[in-house]
Chains A and B, each alone.
Chain A
Amino acid sequence: MKVLVAVKRVIDYNVKVRVKPDNSGVDLANVKMAMNPFCEIAVEEAVRLKEKGVASEIVVVSIGPKAAQEQIRTALALGADRGIHVETDQEVQSLEAAKLLKAVVEKEEPKLVILGKQSIDSDNNQTGQMLAALTGMPQGTFASEVVVEGEKVNVTREVDGGLMTVSLNLPAVVTTDLRLNEPRYASLPNIMKAKKKPLDATSPADLGVDISPRLETVKVEAPAARKAGIKVEDVAQLVDKLKNEAKVI
């Protein structure tokens, strides 16, 4: 079966985020960018499904500026077979990303679509569920285990109370949580090979999707800084402070 994986180019998770002085957003100039960590887990899961003989082809799609092709190449180096780049320099919000992915799904007709549960920039946690709703697919969100059995997929989900397993009809959407797998690193030979794998470019206009944002960002501010407090000498002093100064016990 064909598996479609969506990946997003975001600020590297190790980078300290700085808000622009004019409060228009976060400073992304000369900042290291990388594949969203949850998307890496999505690629890894697809590659494992292929290694098990469950997936026959892995198509990776990314929406974003020209530079997002770096993240597609990374996914190709990790084992995806071909890439689709939906190129735009405009901001793409979750609903519009889901509409673009829907257009790709209608062309590619994958049995399974795997996405990260959220991106670490906008922290929205929306696109996979929106894609599922728009395409009439079921969804297994926050997945920690994915087992394909015939025309169904069983997804174990990380929920507030523990774990919950659902059975979904295929085709389905899965969004990854942290413990689904540990992504591998791309080997140098595979990075070289990835350069020769096919990568098709398209655009929101080609796909017939209006990506005008529905949410306007009024301002972006740094959070209120929390002051470091004091160091206590020992446990007895700590308990005394908590009881008599902070009055929280």
Chain B
Amino acid sequence: MSILVFAEHDNSSLKQATLSVLAAAKEIGGDIDVLVAGENCGAVAEQAAKADGVNKVLVADNAAYGHFLGENLGELVAELGKNYSHILAAAGTTGKDFMPRVAALLDVAQISDIMGVVDADTFVRPIYAGNAIATVKSKDSTKVITVRPTAFDPVAAEAGSASVENLDVVKDAGLSSFVKEELAQSDRPDLASASIVISGGRGMQNGENFKMLEQVADLLGAAVGASRAAVDAGFVPNDMQVGQTGKIVAPQLYIAVGISGAIQHLAGMGDSKVIVAINKDEEAPIFQVADYGLVADLFEAIPQLEEELKKVL
């Protein structure tokens, strides 16, 4: 078997999610090549070459891939993927965007968001917002798979020395172009891979009050997230949303503040190791999954939490 792993990156550094996808590839077994497609992405290729278990790094460095447009990546990966039994990418917004195009161009099904590998043809994935877990077997010769990074422990980042090969294949479909992006700037850890996450919900009442969570987050080295209700209400931007249709997180510690715990939210954080819920409604469903529940007004509890943490950290 031979596996092509699509590297997720921002043209300067490899995203940690890629190391988790490599872990899933190792469970499937076989030779693993990594594709780094981007623009001026040489540094990423060097990092990918050091990751554990990588046989070869393929680099497609061209302006056509600079913004990861799905039309261009779809054609590139479909062509390269013909030589592999499995094609894997992280189930982030990049992988979710272009991988179904790869599958369609290869006339195979895609297996989305896998959280387990049974064997080379059989995978485990959540359906119905994680309220059911399906085991599915593919009948296709090529398996196109997106991987839920939080379900696989990342491989070592500095363990190998794979060869790097530059590709001269350029796929520019000419159908789409990049206009602009507005990316959140934050010094805090990445939400999807942070070991501690503190999230706020509708109970926060406005965006200004999220500063209270940010102060606690900075004490803990945590990322700040939000429920869909808080994002829909305009308190915070969409990239902070945790849930079925937002980001999937599984930190060591998840602190839910003023979040009632709709199933769509639980789908995004239910695999966290320790869950803390702070909510003044003791009937809130979030308490049914919380390891530690505190029934309290968050506007009193969060400043106290900050003070108590300062004492012990």
CA distance A234 to B105 in the complex (A): 57
| B220 → chain A closest CB, angstroms | 6
Nearest-Cβ distance from residue B268 to partner chain A, whole angstroms: 12
* A56 → B minimal CB distance (Å): 23
- Tell me how far the C-beta of B281 lies from the nearest C-beta in chain A, rounded to whole angstroms: 13
Known contacts A169-B176, A248-B274; is-contact A215 B109 (Cβ 8 Å): yes
Q: Which of B268-313 contact A (CB under 8 A)?
A: 270, 273-276, 282, 287-296, 301, 304-305, 308-309, 311-313
Which of B128, B183, B252, B253 sits near A11, CB closer than 8 Å?
B128
Are the C-beta atoms of B127 and A164 separated by less than 8 Å? no
Q: Indicate if B43 sits at the interface (CB-CB under 8 A).
A: no
Contact check, B237 vs A162: say whether CB atoms are below 8 A apart: yes
> Would you call A77 an interface residue if the criterion is a C-beta within 8 Å of the partner chain's C-beta atoms?
no
Which B residues, 91 to 115, have Cβ-Cβ distances below 8 Å to chain A?
A: 92-94, 96-105, 107-113
Given contacts A168-B176, A241-B292, contact A162 B238 (CB under 8 A): yes
Q: Which of B137, B179, B184, B276 contacts A166 (CB 8 A)?
A: B179
Is there an interface contact between B253 and A242, defined as CB atoms closer than 8 Å?
yes
- A132 vs B135: C-alpha distance when bound (angstroms): 28
- Contact (Cβ within 8 A) B97 A129: yes
- Residues 219 to 237 of chain A near chain B (Cβ within 8 Å): 219-223, 226, 228-232, 234-236
Q: How many residues of A contact B (CB 8 A)?
A: 80
Tell which of B101, B183, B244, B245 touches A161, judged by Cβ atoms closer than 8 Å.
Answer: B183
Q: Give the complex CA separation of A117 and B90 in angstroms.
A: 17
**Distance of B181 from chain A, by nearest CB (Å):** 4
A248 CA / B312 CA spacing, docked (Å) = 12
Tell me whether A161 and B289 are in contact (CB under 8 A).
Answer: no
Interface size on B, residues (CB 8 A): 94
Instruction: State in angstroms the CA–CA spacing of A24 and B196 once bound together.
Output: 37
Q: Give how many A-B residue pairs fall within 8 Å (CB-CB).
A: 269
A interface footprint on B248-269 (CB within 8 Å = 1, 0 otherwise): 0000110000000001100000
Question: A72: which B residues are within 8 A, CB to CB?
Answer: none
Candidate in A127, A129, A131 with the most chain B CB atoms within 10 angstroms = A129
Instruction: List, in ascending order, chain B residues with CB within 8 A of A69's CB.
Output: none
- A123-B128, A141-B96 are contacts. A129–B182 as well, Cβ < 8 Å? no
Q: Determine how close the nearest CB of chain B comes to the CB of A27; give it in whole angstroms.
A: 10
Residue B167 is within 8 A (CB to CB) of chain A in the complex: no
| A187 located at the interface, meaning its Cβ lies under 8 Å from any Cβ of chain B in the complex | no
Tell me if B160 is interfacial: C-beta within 8 Å of chain A. no
Known A-B contacts A133-B105, A163-B181, A231-B294; the reply to A17 vs B132 at CB < 8 A is yes
Specify the chain A residue showing the minimal Cβ separation from B305.
A235
**Contacts of A95-144 to chain B: CB distance below 8 A:** 95, 98, 117-118, 120-134, 136-139, 141-142, 144
Most chain-A CB neighbours within 10 Å: which of B128, B135, B174, B232?
Answer: B128
Tell me whether B133 and A221 are in contact (CB under 8 A): yes
Describe B's contact surface by its main secondary structure: mixed
A248 to B221 CA separation, bound complex (whole angstroms): 12
The residue of chain A having its C-beta at the shortest distance from the C-beta of B179 within the complex is A165
A158 touching B238, Cβ below 8 Å = yes
Interface string of B10-52 (1 = CB under 8 A from A): 1000000000000000000000000000000000000000000
Contact across chains for B100 and A248 when beta carbons are under 8 A apart: no
Cβ contact within 8 Å between B131 and A17? yes
Interchain nearest-CB distance for A42 vs B (Å):
14
Q: Given that A236-B308, A242-B276, A248-B273 are contacting pairs, would A162 and B181 also be in contact in the complex, using a CB cutoff of 8 Å? A: yes
* Known contacts A160-B239, A178-B232, A179-B238; is-contact A126 B103 (Cβ 8 Å): yes
Binary contact readout B104-142 vs A (1 if CB under 8 angstroms, 0 otherwise)? 110111111100000000100011111111111111100
Stretch in contact with the other chain, from B54-62, B64-72, B151-159, B202-210: B64-72
A165 touches B180 (CB 8 A): yes
Complex formed: what's the CA distance from A243 to B295 in Å? 20
Quick check: B71 and A138 within 8 Å, CB to CB?
A: yes
Contact indicator A246/B253 (Cβ below 8 Å): yes
Give Cα A138–Cα B176 distance, bound, in whole angstroms: 6
A192, CB-defined interface residue at 8 Å: no
With the chains together, A214 CA to B138 CA distance in Å? 6
B127 close to A160 (CB less than 8 A): no
| With contact pairs A94-B100, A236-B308, A239-B312 given, residues A214 and B245 touching in the complex (Cβ less than 8 Å) | no
Determine if B97 and A139 form an interchain contact, defined as CB atoms under 8 angstroms apart: yes
Does A249 lie within 8 Å of B175, measured CB to CB? no
Answer yes or no: A88 CB below 8 A from chain B CBs.
Answer: no
> Are B181's CB and A231's CB within 8 A?
no
**B81 within 8 Å of A (CB atoms):** no
A to B CB contacts below 8 Å, 9 in the list: A26-B127, A123-B129, A124-B112, A138-B176, A163-B182, A163-B238, A215-B137, A246-B253, A249-B196
Could you list 12 further interchain pairs (A-B, Cβ under 8 angstroms) beyond the known A94-B110, A126-B103, A161-B184? A95-B108, A138-B176, A160-B247, A167-B176, A172-B175, A178-B245, A179-B238, A226-B270, A228-B287, A239-B308, A246-B253, A248-B273
